[in-house]
Amino acid sequence: MRIRIVDAFSDRPFAGNPAGVLLLDAFPEDDWLQNVAMEVNHAETAFAHPLPEGGEADWALRWFTPVAEVAMCGHATLATAHVLHGTGAHEGPVRFATRSGVLVATPGDDGSITLDFPTAPLTSVEVPQGVTGALGARPLAAFDTGPNVGDLLLELADEKTVLALAPDLRALGAYSSRGIIATARAEDPARGYDFVSRCFFPNVGIDEDPVTGSAHTALAPYWSERLGRTGLTGLQASRRSGRVRTELRGDRTLLSGRAVTVIEGELIA
End-to-end alpha-carbon separation of the chain, Å? Answer: 9
Q: What are residue 244's DSSP bridge partners? A: 234
Amino acid present at 260: V
Query: Which 3 state secondary structure label does DSSP give 230?
Result: coil
Residues annotated as part of the active site? 44
Within 10 angstroms of residue 160's Cβ, the number of other Cβ atoms is: 11
Amino acid present at 167: P
CA distance 156 to 142: 9
Cβ–Cβ < 8 Å for 76, 21:
yes
Residue 165 gets which letter from DSSP? -
CA distance 91 to 86: 9
Residues in the chain: 269
